Amino acid sequence: MKLEELIRQRKTDKDILLMTHIVLGYPSFETNREVIREMVENGVDCIEMQIPFSEPMADGPVILKANQDSLARGTTIENCLNFGAEMCSTHDISFLYMTYYNIVYKYGEQRFLDQAVKAGIQGLILPDLPPEEGADLCKKAKQKGIAPIMIYSPTSTNERMEELADYGAGFVYCTARKGVTGSHSKLDSDFKSYLERCRRATSLPLAVGFGIQNRNDIEVLIGAADMGVVGSQTIKLVDQHGSEAVGPFIKELFGNT
Amino acid sequence: MKLEELIRQRKTDKDILLMTHIVLGYPSFETNREVIREMVENGVDCIEMQIPFSEPMADGPVILKANQDSLARGTTIENCLNFGAEMCSTHDISFLYMTYYNIVYKYGEQRFLDQAVKAGIQGLILPDLPPEEGADLCKKAKQKGIAPIMIYSPTSTNERMEELADYGAGFVYCTARKGVTGSHSKLDSDFKSYLERCRRATSLPLAVGFGIQNRNDIEVLIGAADMGVVGSQTIKLVDQHGSEAVGPFIKELFGNT
Amino acid sequence: MSTRKYFGNWGGSYIPEALHETFRQLDIAYQQIRNDPAFWDEYTALMSTYSGRPTPLTHAENLSNHFGGAQIYIKREDLNHTGAHKANNVMGQGLLVKRMGKTRVIAETGAGQHGIATATMAAKFGLECTVYMGEEDVLRQRPNVFWMEKMGTTVVPVMDGSKTLKDAINEAFRDWVTNMDNTHYVFGTACGPAPYPEMVSWLQSIIGQEAAEQIVSQHGKLPARVYACVGGGSNSLGIFQRFLEEEQTELVGVEAGGHGLDSSQHAARLCGNDASAGIAQGYKTMFLQNDDGQMLDTHSVSAGLDYIGVSPILADLWEKKAVRFEAATDQEVIEALDLTMRKEGIIPALESAHALVQAFKEAPELSKDEAIIINMSGRGDKDIFTIAHAYDDPSWKEFIIDRAAQYRK
Amino acid sequence: MSTRKYFGNWGGSYIPEALHETFRQLDIAYQQIRNDPAFWDEYTALMSTYSGRPTPLTHAENLSNHFGGAQIYIKREDLNHTGAHKANNVMGQGLLVKRMGKTRVIAETGAGQHGIATATMAAKFGLECTVYMGEEDVLRQRPNVFWMEKMGTTVVPVMDGSKTLKDAINEAFRDWVTNMDNTHYVFGTACGPAPYPEMVSWLQSIIGQEAAEQIVSQHGKLPARVYACVGGGSNSLGIFQRFLEEEQTELVGVEAGGHGLDSSQHAARLCGNDASAGIAQGYKTMFLQNDDGQMLDTHSVSAGLDYIGVSPILADLWEKKAVRFEAATDQEVIEALDLTMRKEGIIPALESAHALVQAFKEAPELSKDEAIIINMSGRGDKDIFTIAHAYDDPSWKEFIIDRAAQYRK
Ligand SMILES: Cc1ncc(COP(=O)(O)O)c(C=O)c1O
Ligand SMILES: Cc1ncc(COP(=O)(O)O)c(C=O)c1O
């Protein structure tokens, strides 16, 4: 089934969905495995698996460091793709790849998409590939049933949002604020009107990420967005308290305490 | 009696005269006193007493250092003038002052000459005062019976030598070579013809200095000049072997071994 | 005219969505200045009264005689205020910032030259300024950091990745996606997303324009060859552009050969075999990267040439064979530096000395009535710590040890 | 014209007889170039193609606004090749040496700037070169020693006296009286025996000639005041001469006030009370000396201003009240340096910063339609060791300590 439909389906039972993020090979693939299991068992709806890149320009300090450590441990793209395939076949939720365009480009767009399809990956997030540069890749991905995820930013104009919507599929990733991943976002009235602009610009589901850290943040999103995205926060959690801390954290985000 | 006459008189008994040099206050006035006694007792004809100056531009390393050390020990011009007067009244040979012009200028030309006359000083050597700049001082000195000593250099032209002769009195100081005091001079055929040029340019007695270090050097001078000048060499001697080494050294220079 | 985004297969604008609008506005502002002749007049006037342009073209007679071939001319970008060609680009962008009404600038810096130039411009134009500099480079180039700070700039050491230029660029972009409202990113070389490659090259084109006029008036005709070192590509494009259409002039770009092209310790992207096409830091070019697309560590004796990428404009000129690319090793660079100091009394930057190496190799091939121009992108006295170190100078070491002893007390 | 030996009561030529003939020949050679218009053309052409002249006159708008008075213009001698006005004199004397057919040059240096300039000229003209430098200064200015050596110059540390500039001058004279046949002494400032004061001032007069033209074209009229720092006097005379006859322009020379004029730790010869007339180093001027005529130790934060004497031409202009003299303390100098870096992105040499101090004090008195010119004799980045030290910069100290640790291994 296509990502957008899966999301809409899951959304019928829940007031908000949750997408989490991991950096592949950080701190290790074994830990990735445990963390993902905790996430799935606690009801996470989508997981974006970041294939590390040496120049993660759009990422803040936590994810940046995770990228570097993973590479320093020798993580290769083959490792990542194999792990991705394993996860898709193990867990019945939606998995996406997140990475930078050079990884896909060097591997070969066609080859990368083929592998992703074979594995069962449902979406692709490339923060440094605006559709002007990636129109072709977006088209090919869609044809293969992989959703190219578009990103909205508070700096995007209404026209720009509409333009982007045409290229995307699955959902739109709305960054809660300017800047890079990591620090907490103020989800204030400006944020609300930004989300309204997003909603008007596209019929795709809206995911909101960047600095979503706790149940309060998630509550703000209920009604205004379809999915919250938690990134750096889980990495910090695992760094500090190990993978077994992930389940309770996810529960709390869902309001199941 | 005037310096020139004194020199001619002494020369009637000797094939060569000897002028030695000390830096006042170096290593101390007491040592100066002893060294001068040794010199006089051993037949030295003239002694140039250098009043130290902080910028002895025409002096080489040995005398330069002696100037600096003397000043560092606190030697003043008053000390020097008093000591000069004491020597003149103690010993019956010719004493000259050697210094740089600034010392005379700052003390006052008139005042300086008056003191020198009172003390019994017979000549004045100022290596940085060419007669173009010092014509007036030369004239005043002569009037007071103090001989302004002119300096010839191998670089002086014949015309220049004649010009200088007119300003001078006492004797002419012929530097044996270019350069500063201290290092040994090659007294070769070039040197001989230079001394002939000197002889032709002036009727004053000729003293030869700069790098005269031993009896051999003195022997070369016999017949060609009236007086040898020994400077740095005695300072080194006293530094190394004390003032008692001066007597034997002077004896040797005179060929009295 | 409008901005060229692609140069043959290279270039583009691979930027996060958050910067889309910022780049759109930058591009509009850039096109305005580009199409406004008054801007170029303002720019050249500023460079003349503030930075000492035109910089001279010096006939290196001793070197010419030494090699016995072509007449060697040196374009003296070292005489620019702040000591390198970097000032050209930076002052130009400063005028742009004023027009855009922004109040803060950020920059990356490797060797420190671009950082110094940006700090200088920020002081002159009354702008707030933050410079990102890899920690490695902060350690290597402390004097530059000192001066930047004294001019009121905040220097942020970047602790990530290889802690060099590329990481500083990433960090500057991270700042920019947060502060684009009041902040302009003064990119330091002809790389990065459009319009930077074209804009920086255009601002640097003042070098070649002057040089062409000067060589004709001093030598009587255009040069046979023009040599420039290639880091990101700004000084080389600065001088090359004017001669691209001139049939009789061959253009030679010299990359950092480090310990040799086979050593994998170099920064040769166009003349070696270790680079491949890729996309990073917002643009597509030849990058030094592994098969997975991860960027490699580079090496050069000169902090300004050890960059993983290269101007997309140069990648295009390389592919079209309009510019020839060569490499100079660290060792050759020190030798050329030595010879230039002794023969001409000129101290080239280590970067610039790469261009000298290749020119010295080729000068003897050319006849005495031919001229070659070397773009001396900067002066070397900024490199005292590196150069004295490379020479293993004992009294320098002693001096540093003595100083340290004073400070340790 | 023939050489002026005296300037009022000052100057002259108090030299050992061994140099009499050398000076006679030097004087003839000097008069030849002085009376040959082709020489000046050759000189300006050389300075243009090799050293980047004319140097700009920069309107310091931010400083002008900051003080709210006169428009402040800065004459940018820092942009000369080698980083200071010293190059003007040296390159001119280089041309003279060529005409005289000598093959070796010697020079004294204090701050090292004149030494660097001479080493540069010697390399360019293919001359052998020895530079005398007080041991104190060698220790303070090791980077300059390094570069001189790299350009092929022998640097001789002078261990005598106060081990600073004056001792280096004595030592250079000692070399010269031995080697005058093939050797020319490139005197570094407008002091010493005739014809040096006049000759050096004449070669430096290119500064004022340019500045006068520039201020008229940029500001519309001549300046109300011109400020220059005064060490030996070459940069100040370089800019002052052109304005001497201009009624509307007041000339202000700024000496090193060190720890204050009452501290006896300064180098103020004309505006303090510690100097008196004397004769040393071949000429008559106001010297810092004691009652016995022994020269005193001087002090300044800047190695280029702590000289015991001053140009006899300036002593004359002082006596005739044609130039006003002031002093700037070390502390004021650091403050002016700081402000200039932050406001204009310009790093003045510590020497030059003395002129800035006085100009900043007086600028507010003047109306906004008046201009003042400050002669910025050199750039400050050469002074990193002194300046970073003066700022007591902790990360600089750490850097030096780390470096030393590497070298001690
Ligand atoms: C003096 C100098 N030359 C050359 C370069 C290389 O840069 P580009 O290739 O952009 O001219 C640098 C970079 O820092 C530099 O400082
Ligand atoms: C930059 C600079 N300015 C000024 C001076 C002082 O010399 P003068 O008074 O001869 O210009 C020096 C001397 O070294 C110097 O290096």
ipTM value: 0.95
**E strands, D57-110, where?**
57-59, 71-76, 104-109
| Residues D31-73 pLDDT 10s | 999 999 999 999 999 999 999 999 999 999 999 999 999 999 9
User: For A184-203, what is the mean pLDDT?
Assistant: 91
Alpha-carbon span C36 to C96, nearest angstrom: 12
Q: Is D230 in the pocket of ligand 2 (CB under 6 A)?
A: yes
**E strands, D31-125, where?**
57-59, 71-76, 104-109
What is the reported pLDDT for D113? 94
- CB-closest option in B105, B127, B157 to D279: B105
In this complex, do B129 and D14 lie within 8 Å of one another by their Cβ atoms? yes
A48 included as an active-site residue = yes
Alpha-carbon span A194 to A47, nearest angstrom: 25
Min Cα distance A80 → chain C (Å) is 11
Ligand 2 pocket: which of D81, D82, D113, D205 to mutate (most atoms within 8 A of CB): D113
Min Cα distance D324 → chain C (Å) is 28
Burial class (CB in 10 A: 0-12, 13-18, 19+), D177: buried
The residue whose CA is least distant from atom 7 of ligand 1 is C231
Task: Identify the band that residue C2 occupies on the pLDDT scale cut at 50, 70 and 90.
Answer: low
Average pLDDT score over chain D: 96
- CB-closest option in D48, D142, D408 to C56: D48
Average pLDDT score over chain B: 95
User: In percent, how much of chain C has pLDDT > 70?
Assistant: 99
User: For C348-376, what is the mean pLDDT?
Assistant: 98
User: For B115-120, what is the mean pLDDT?
Assistant: 97
CA-wise closest residue to D107 among D78, D136, D128: D128
Q: Could you tell me which residues are beta bridge partners of residue D324?
A: D252
In this complex, do A102 and C279 lie within 8 Å of one another by their Cβ atoms? yes
B55/D contact by beta carbon, under 8 A: yes
Alpha-carbon span C367 to C376, nearest angstrom: 22
Domain count, chain A: 1
What the block records as the tokens of C87 is: 């000032």
Give Cα B216 distance to the centre of its chain.
20
Q: Which bound ligand lies closest to the C-alpha atom of C229? A: 1
Query: Which of A121-130, A211-220, B19-28, B70-79 is predicted least confidently?
Result: A211-220
Q: Which residues of D touch C57 (CB under 8 A)?
A: 49
Query: Which of A167-171, A231-235, B134-138, D92-96 is predicted least confidently?
Result: A231-235
Min Cα distance D131 → chain B (Å) is 17
| Residues C101-118 pLDDT 10s | 999 999 999 889 999 999
Alpha-carbon span D275 to D264, nearest angstrom: 10
What is the reported pLDDT for C107? 98
What is the reported pLDDT for D395? 86
Name the strand (E) or helix (H) holding B255.
Answer: none
Total Cβ atoms within 10 A of residue A194: 23
The residue whose CA is least distant from atom 7 of ligand 2 is D231
User: Parallel, antiparallel, or unpaired for β A227-230 and A206-209?
Assistant: parallel
In this complex, do B106 and D161 lie within 8 Å of one another by their Cβ atoms? no
Residues of the domain holding A24: 2-253
Q: Which residues of C256-294 are buried (b: 16+ CB within 10 A; e: fewer)?
A: bbbeebeeebbbbbbbbebbeebbbbbbbbbbbbeebbb
In this complex, do C346 and D81 lie within 8 Å of one another by their Cβ atoms? yes
Min Cα distance D299 → chain C (Å) is 20
Chain C interface, best mutation among A50, A51, A53, A57, by max C CB count within 10 A? A57
- Active-site residue set of D: 86, 108, 377
| Residues C264-323 pLDDT 10s | 999 999 999 999 999 999 999 999 999 999 999 999 999 899 999 999 999 999 999 999
Alpha-carbon span D183 to D93, nearest angstrom: 12
Q: Is C78 in the pocket of ligand 1 (CB under 6 A)?
A: no
Q: Which domains does chain C have, with CATH numbers?
A: 17-48+85-200 (3.40.50.1100), 53-83+205-389 (3.40.50.1100)
First CA to last CA across chain B, in angstroms? 32
Look-up: residue for tokens 């002086």?
B156
CA-wise closest residue to B213 among B174, B171, B249: B249
Residue A119 has phi, psi (to 5 degrees) of -75, -30
A77/C contact by beta carbon, under 8 A: yes
pLDDT above 90: residue D283: yes
Is C touching D (3+ C-beta pairs, cut-off 8 A)? Answer: yes
In this complex, do A160 and C21 lie within 8 Å of one another by their Cβ atoms? yes
What the block records as the tokens of D383 is: 């002074």
Q: Could you tell me which residues are beta bridge partners of residue C327?
A: C255
Q: Is C195 in the pocket of ligand 1 (CB under 6 A)?
A: no
Alpha-carbon span A111 to A109, nearest angstrom: 6
Query: Which of C63-72, C132-141, C202-211, D93-102 is predicted least confidently?
Result: C132-141
**Closest residue of A to C11, CA-based?**
A133
What is the reported pLDDT for D44? 98
> How far is it between the farthest Cα atoms of chain D?
64
Burial class (CB in 10 A: 0-12, 13-18, 19+), D179: middle
Alpha-carbon span D378 to C73, nearest angstrom: 26
In this complex, do D281 and B130 lie within 8 Å of one another by their Cβ atoms? no
User: In percent, how much of chain D has pLDDT > 70?
Assistant: 99
What is the reported pLDDT for B1? 57
Q: Which bound ligand lies closest to the C-alpha atom of C309? A: 1
User: For D237-254, what is the mean pLDDT?
Assistant: 98
Q: Which bound ligand lies closest to the C-alpha atom of D191? A: 2
pLDDT above 90: residue B256: no
What is the reported pLDDT for B185? 75
Q: Please give the distance, rounded to the nearest whole angstrom, from the Cα atom of residue D201 to the centre of ligand 2.
A: 13
Long-range pairs for A87-90: beta carbons < 8 A, 24 or more residues apart = A87/A33, A87/A36, A87/A47, A87/A49, A88/A119, A88/A120, A88/A121, A89/A119, A89/A120
Peptide bond into C193 cis (omega under 30): no
Distance set, CA A115 to CA A118, A124, C41, C390, C406 (Å): 5, 12, 56, 50, 63
| DSSP secondary structure, C275-330, as one string | EEEEEETTEEEEEEB-TTSPBPP---SSTTT--S---HHHHHHHHTTSSEEEEEEH
Ligand 1 pocket: which of C137, C301, C305 to mutate (most atoms within 8 A of CB): C305
- CB-closest option in C55, C121, C345 to D123: C345
pLDDT above 80: residue C241: yes
In this complex, do C124 and D385 lie within 8 Å of one another by their Cβ atoms? no
| DSSP secondary structure, A97-148, as one string | EE--HHHHHHH-HHHHHHHHHHHT--EEE-TT--HHHHHHHHHHHHHTT-EE
Average pLDDT score over chain C: 96
Q: Which residues of B touch D174 (CB under 8 A)?
A: 57-58, 60, 179-180
Cβ under 8 Å to D: C residues 41-60? 48-52, 55-59
Is the distance from CB of D239 to CB of D226 less than 8 angstroms? yes
The half-sphere exposure of D146 on its side-chain side, counting CA atoms within 13 A, is 28
Task: Identify the band that residue C82 occupies on the pLDDT scale cut at 50, 70 and 90.
Answer: very high
Q: Pseudo-torsion of CA D130, D135, D141, D147, nearest 10°?
A: 30
Q: Which distant-in-sequence residues (6+ apart) come within 8 Å of C229 by Cβ?
A: C235, C236, C253, C254, C255, C256, C302, C305, C351, C352, C353, C354, C355, C375, C377
Residue B9 has phi, psi (to 5 degrees) of -60, -50
In this complex, do D21 and B156 lie within 8 Å of one another by their Cβ atoms? yes
| Selected catalytic residue, list C77, C108, C210, C255 | C108
Distance set, CA D144 to CA D116, D131, D140, D155, D352 (Å): 6, 11, 9, 10, 18
User: For B237-246, what is the mean pLDDT?
Assistant: 96
User: In percent, how much of chain C has pLDDT > 90?
Assistant: 88
The residue whose CA is least distant from atom 13 of ligand 1 is C304
Measured from the Cα of C230, ligand 1's closest atom is 9
Look-up: residue for tokens 């790098």?
B211
Q: Please give the distance, rounded to the nearest whole angstrom, from the Cα atom of residue C377 to the centre of ligand 1.
A: 7
Look-up: residue for tokens 């002031």?
D326
pLDDT above 80: residue A182: no
Q: Which residues of C touch A156 (CB under 8 A)?
A: 17, 20-21
CATH number of B111's domain: 3.20.20.70
Chain D interface, best mutation among B57, B76, B99, by max D CB count within 10 A? B57
Query: Which of A6-10, A20-24, D93-97, D141-145 is predicted least confidently?
Result: D141-145
User: For D291-296, what is the mean pLDDT?
Assistant: 97
Min Cα distance C95 → chain A (Å) is 25
Look-up: residue for tokens 């071994």?
B257
What is the reported pLDDT for B80? 98
DSSP state of C381: G
Residue C369 has phi, psi (to 5 degrees) of -90, 5
Min Cα distance A55 → chain C (Å) is 7
Alpha-carbon span B57 to D191, nearest angstrom: 15
Measured from the Cα of D349, ligand 2's closest atom is 1
What the block records as the tokens of D352 is: 């030059």
What is the reported pLDDT for D262? 96
In this complex, do D292 and B76 lie within 8 Å of one another by their Cβ atoms? yes
Q: Is D80 in the pocket of ligand 2 (CB under 6 A)?
A: no
Q: Please give the distance, rounded to the nearest whole angstrom, from the Cα atom of residue C407 to the centre of ligand 2.
A: 28
pLDDT above 60: residue D1: no
Total Cβ atoms within 10 A of residue A160: 18
In this complex, do C341 and D147 lie within 8 Å of one another by their Cβ atoms? yes
Average pLDDT score over chain A: 95
At position D338, the amino acid (one-letter code) is: D
Alpha-carbon span C337 to C342, nearest angstrom: 9
The residue whose CA is least distant from atom 5 of ligand 1 is C304
CA-wise closest residue to C250 among C259, C258, C239, C260: C239
pLDDT above 70: residue D228: yes
Q: Is D189 in the pocket of ligand 2 (CB under 6 A)?
A: yes
Ligand 1 pocket: which of C93, C113, C201, C381 to mutate (most atoms within 8 A of CB): C113
What is the reported pLDDT for A187? 80
Give Cα C135 distance to the centre of its chain.
20
User: For A101-114, what is the mean pLDDT?
Assistant: 98
DSSP state of D84: B
Kindly calculate the radius of gyration of chain C based on its CA atoms and give it in whole angstroms: 20
CA-wise closest residue to A181 among A202, A210, A204: A210
Peptide bond into C223 cis (omega under 30): no
CA-wise closest residue to C278 among C6, C11, C5: C11
Is the distance from CB of C304 to CB of C231 less than 8 angstroms? yes
What the block records as the tokens of C294 is: 């991860």
Alpha-carbon span B212 to B231, nearest angstrom: 8
In this complex, do C56 and D55 lie within 8 Å of one another by their Cβ atoms? no
Q: Which residues of A touch C195 (CB under 8 A)?
A: none
pLDDT above 90: residue D2: no
pLDDT above 60: residue C1: no
Q: Which distant-in-sequence residues (6+ apart) come within 8 Å of D168 by Cβ?
A: D108, D109, D110, D132, D133, D134, D137, D158
pLDDT above 80: residue A185: no
Q: Which residues of B touch D173 (CB under 8 A)?
A: 57-58
Name the strand (E) or helix (H) holding C382.
Answer: none
Instruction: Report the SS3 class of residue D392.
Output: coil
Query: Which of D308-317, D328-337, D379-388 is predicted least confidently?
Result: D379-388
Burial class (CB in 10 A: 0-12, 13-18, 19+), D232: buried
